[in-house]
């Protein structure tokens, strides 16, 4: 199912009943319920979240499902229908962050990290001293992995959402996202921002989510593409370049260094109108050219998010196309996080009549998004697939990004 024009495998073939049944087969008893949390694409606002800036993701119909039952013996048992290795059994009291540079423990580190973060925050029953809360969890995901579509955030958020409800913790969705980010930063050891977890926890059907990553205020922005005869395609290049992980931390460090040099809390505090003066000041301060390009990306990208919102608010959805493409150029030339495959998607799609296109997510492979007239979707997809063939790349997976619901019980 991983070549050509893929339908996207957004629906779990046998639904929550199948996931519950698989849970029963693995653990020998029925789950208390089944929860879902989606993957995401980001419409605009890349590498702005950890600069306290703006992002605008939307949830995909692709979800991670979790069948879950609580335990009262402090034991955590996790099992994945998508990964080999059987049941991983851990004691909640023994959970500890992985050593820097060490083995991150594979997929199980994500749900384990969430349980650790809940315990660390004193939210798990018994987590004060005698930790008694535990859980059995079985996961099945349709979020493509390694495709920059936030399969890990979906895994984290579905875990937190299920435990929140099972233990009656009363944690609001945005706080769930923060706990999941804490798990990923401190337990798994990935220095991500807050966007992906927020998208998975807080998105709603038919909307893109505008998030201010500083004060965490949100706005659901109507984004009903079908009603306007438009389509947003996801093009999963199916490549993941090795330098990705280190480069993310490196870009983040460059942004933080520049903010410190400028004496601001984060690059969010550099007004777009003062960009040129700021870049000149950074040069005077001895800041290298690459770092100055990183700053230019972040400041112009925040402005592009505002521009996209203004255009959507004005009901002018088609006009966001060139803003998306400008965002790609900035990711490619200033932030330097694109790659040949992503550039090829954007160039080919635009040449074939798309309204705009850009890479989405962290970069160095993964996925691009393409905004097209519904009538042109087939032709544009075909052009991209053919261009990949001609360039000797593996065929991409192409499917529509239908703005879908955030985490929920099924």
Known catalytic residues? 196
Q: Select from 10, 19, 49, 268 the one that contacts ligand GAF (CB under 6 A).
A: 49
Binding residues: 46-49, 80, 146-152, 184, 248
Q: Which is nearer to ligand GAF, 169 or 345 (CB)?
A: 345
Determine if 376 is a binding residue for ligand GAF (CB under 6 A).
no
Is 158:66 a contact under the CB 8 Å cutoff? yes
Determine if 156 is a binding residue for ligand GAF (CB under 6 A).
no
Determine if 53 is a binding residue for ligand GAF (CB under 6 A).
no
Structure token digits, residue 304: 């592009």
Restricted to residues 233-272, the positions that interact with ligand GAF (CB under 6 A) are none
Q: Which is nearer to ligand GAF, 144 or 361 (CB)?
A: 361
Q: Which is nearer to ligand GAF, 74 or 148 (CB)?
A: 148
CB of 46 to ligand GAF, least distance (A): 4
The interface region with ligand GAF, picked from 7-15, 74-82, 190-198, 229-237 by CB under 6 A, is 190-198
Site string for ligand GAF, 310-349 (x = CB under 6 A): ----------------------------------------
**CB within 8 Å of 168: residues ≥ 6 apart:** none
Strand partners, 397: 236
CB of 19 to ligand GAF, least distance (A): 26
Structure token digits, residue 337: 């996080």
Q: Select from 74, 97, 113, 362 the one that contacts ligand GAF (CB under 6 A).
A: 362
CB of 197 to ligand GAF, least distance (A): 8
Determine if 195 is a binding residue for ligand GAF (CB under 6 A).
yes
CB of 47 to ligand GAF, least distance (A): 5
Nearest-angstrom CA–CA distance, 124 and 111? 14
Residue 267 carries which DSSP code? G
Determine if 192 is a binding residue for ligand GAF (CB under 6 A).
yes
Distance between alpha carbon 361 and the CA centroid of its chain, in Å?
Answer: 6
Tally Cβ neighbours within 10 Å of residue 272.
Answer: 12
Binding residues for ATP: 80, 146-152
Binding residues for Mg(2+): 152, 184
Binding-site size, ligand GAF (CB under 6 A): 11
Q: Select from 52, 120, 136, 196 the one that contacts ligand GAF (CB under 6 A).
A: 196
Structure token digits, residue 367: 């996925």
Nearest-angstrom CA–CA distance, 229 and 224? 9
Q: Which is nearer to ligand GAF, 16 or 53 (CB)?
A: 53
Q: Select from 193, 321, 327, 400 the one that contacts ligand GAF (CB under 6 A).
A: 193
| Cα–Cα distance list, 183 to 92, 120, 178, 189 (Å) | 14, 10, 9, 8
Residue 264, burial from CB neighbour count under 10 angstroms (0-12, 13-18, 19+):
middle
Nearest-angstrom CA–CA distance, 323 and 238? 25
Q: Which is nearer to ligand GAF, 142 or 151 (CB)?
A: 151
Q: Which is nearer to ligand GAF, 248 or 399 (CB)?
A: 248
CB of 271 to ligand GAF, least distance (A): 21
Determine if 46 is a binding residue for ligand GAF (CB under 6 A).
yes
Determine if 47 is a binding residue for ligand GAF (CB under 6 A).
yes
Q: Which is nearer to ligand GAF, 194 or 262 (CB)?
A: 194
Please, which contacts does 90-98 make with residues 24 or more away whose CB atoms are closer than 8 Å?
A: 92/116, 92/119, 92/124, 92/127, 92/131, 92/133, 92/134, 93/131, 95/119, 95/187, 97/186, 97/187, 97/189, 98/187, 98/188, 98/189
CB of 274 to ligand GAF, least distance (A): 23
Which three-class secondary structure string do you get for 168-206? CCCCCHHHHHHHHHHHHHHHHCCCCCCHHHHHHHHCCCC
Is 179:160 a contact under the CB 8 Å cutoff? yes
Is 218:202 a contact under the CB 8 Å cutoff? yes
- Give me the residues that bind ligand GAF (CB under 6 A), please: 42, 46-47, 49-50, 192-193, 195-196, 361-362
């Amino acid at each position: 199912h991983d070549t050509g024009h893929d339908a996207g495998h957004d629906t779990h073939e046998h639904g929550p009943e199948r996931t519950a049944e698989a849970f029963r087969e693995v653990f020998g008893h029925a789950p208390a319920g089944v929860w879902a949390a989606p993957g995401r694409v980001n419409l605009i606002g890349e590498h702005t979240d950890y600069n306290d800036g703006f992002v605008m993701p939307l949830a995909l119909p692709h979800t991670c499902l979790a069948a879950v039952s609580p335990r009262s013996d402090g034991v955590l048992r996790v099992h994945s229908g998508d990964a080999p290795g059987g049941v991983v059994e851990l004691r909640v009291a023994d959970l500890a962050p992985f050593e820097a540079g060490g083995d991150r423990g594979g997929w199980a580190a994500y749900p384990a990290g969430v349980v650790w973060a809940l315990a660390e925050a004193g939210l798990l029953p018994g987590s004060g001293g005698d930790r008694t809360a535990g859980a059995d969890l079985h996961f099945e995901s349709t979020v493509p992995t390694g495709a920059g579509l936030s399969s890990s955030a979906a895994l984290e958020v579905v875990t937190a959402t299920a435990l929140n409800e099972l233990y009656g913790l009363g944690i609001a969705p945005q706080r769930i996202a923060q706990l999941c980010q804490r798990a990923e930063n401190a337990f798994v050891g990935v220095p991500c921002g807050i966007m992906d977890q927020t998208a998975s926890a807080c998105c709603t059907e038919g909307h893109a989510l505008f998030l201010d990553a500083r004060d965490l205020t949100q706005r659901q922005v109507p984004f009903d593409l079908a009603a306007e005869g438009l389509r947003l395609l996801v093009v999963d290049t199916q490549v993941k370049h090795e330098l990705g992980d280190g480069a993310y931390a490196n870009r983040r460090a460059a942004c933080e260094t520049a903010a410190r040099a400028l004496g601001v809390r984060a690059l969010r505090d550099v007004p777009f109108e003062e960009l040129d003066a700021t870049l000149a000041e950074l040069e005077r301060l001895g800041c290298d050219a690459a770092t100055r390009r990183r700053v230019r990306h972040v400041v112009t990208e925040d402005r592009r998010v505002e521009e996209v919102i203004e255009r959507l608010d004005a009901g002018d959805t088609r006009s966001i196309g060139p803003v998306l493409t400008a965002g790609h150029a900035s990711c490619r030339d200033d932030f330097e996080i694109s790659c040949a495959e992503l550039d090829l998607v954007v160039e080919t799609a635009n040449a074939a009549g798309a309204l705009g296109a850009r890479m989405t997510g962290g970069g160095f492979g993964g996925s691009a998004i393409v905004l097209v007239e519904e009538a042109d979707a087939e032709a544009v997809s075909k052009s991209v697939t053919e261009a990949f063939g001609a360039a000797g790349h593996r065929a991409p997976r192409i499917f529509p990004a239908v703005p879908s619901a955030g985490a929920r019980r099924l």
